[in-house]
Amino acid sequence: MQKKIIQLKNVRITYISLFRKNLWQGKETKYQATFIIHKSNEVIKQLQEQIEVIKKLKFDGKTPKNFFCCLKDVDDLKEDNEKYSAEHYNDSFTLTAKTDYKPLVVESYQNTNPSTGKKEKVLITDEFKIKAGDYVNAFIELTAYDTPGKGISCKLLGVQFCKHGEALPSYIPPFDFIDEENIDTNDFDLLDEDF
């Protein structure tokens, strides 16, 4: 199957690990970012069509048991996780993209090379330039996998900064720290909620 690169335009970015690999349980995993894509964005149709093409070629058009897909309708996530009830997720899909190799991260403008007169990309090296809630363009590629499990993942190829957006609030895990009377301990109490 010929790989197809898809461009996301003017989408919000969150859960950003563009300059160093994400840490999970103390171990480095991959570079990654999650994109919040409004349902009115024309790329949603393109993503859904490509997912169906991949399912047809890789899984005979069927949805395997315990199938995982990187493109998620937020309406389906709200019941299981209260963070998706935040206003910035309304009428949206999320798409999480990952890569083993550092993705290309560039500015919204280009510089002219004085010796050649050609336009050149301006690399972003400051990891704090792009923050959760900012708007970006991105290049991604959908791929199928069947070990472990079966599903469709998203490879992150590159990100272009567009403009700063309203900062997204951090999700607060459901636990309370011990009060000042117990300040000598390092314990904390979990609330009666699931993470």
- CATH code, domain with 67: 2.40.50.140
Please check whether residue 195 lies inside any domain of the structure.
Answer: no
In this prediction the pTM is 0.81
Residues of the chain with pLDDT under 70: 1-2, 80, 82, 85, 169-195
Burial of 125 (0-12, 13-18, 19+ CB in 10 A): exposed
- Amino acid found at 60: D
- Per-residue model confidence (pLDDT) at position 141: 97
Q: Find all residues with CB under 8 Å of 124, minimum gap 6, and list them.
A: 105, 106, 107, 130, 161
- What is the pLDDT at residue 190? 42
Using DSSP, state whether 82 is helix, strand or coil.
helix
Q: Is residue 112 part of a domain?
A: yes
Looking at the domain assignment, is residue 107 inside a domain? yes
Residue 80 lies inside a defined structural domain of this protein: yes
Predicted pLDDT at 111: 93
Say how many domains are in the chain: 1
Structure confidence at residue 71 (pLDDT): 95
Burial zone of 143 (CB within 10 Å; 0-12 exposed, 13-18 middle, 19+ buried)? middle
Range of the domain at 176: 5-190
pLDDT at 1: 54
Contacts for 115 with CB less than 8 Å, ≥ 6 apart: none
